[in-house]
Amino acid sequence: AGSRCTDGYLRKGANVRVMRGDKILIESKVKTLRNFKSEADRIEEGNECGIGLVDFEDFEPDDVVECYVEM
């Protein structure tokens, strides 16, 4: 999915949840991150990227991908 990191950063292998409105569609992990057709390990705030998740491809416009760390 084509995305933009709006706050913090995204990291390859990180835990994420996909939100559509107020509903959580799936909790997964980041499988791939791309920045201008190059593989990336990390995407910083304000940058655009392509993101692929483990076992999820059903993105729609306005979906929100939240990256989080479990403590």
Rounded to the nearest angstrom, the gap between the alpha carbon of residue 34 and the centroid of all alpha carbons in its chain is 11
Residue 1 has pLDDT above 90, yes or no: no
d(CA 16, CA 35): 18
d(CA 50, CA 40): 10
d(CA 10, CA 6): 10
Task: Please give the pLDDT value at position 71.
Answer: 76
| pLDDT, tens only, 8-53 | 999 999 999 999 999 999 999 999 999 988 999 999 999 999 999 9
pTM confidence score = 0.84
d(CA 71, CA 65): 19
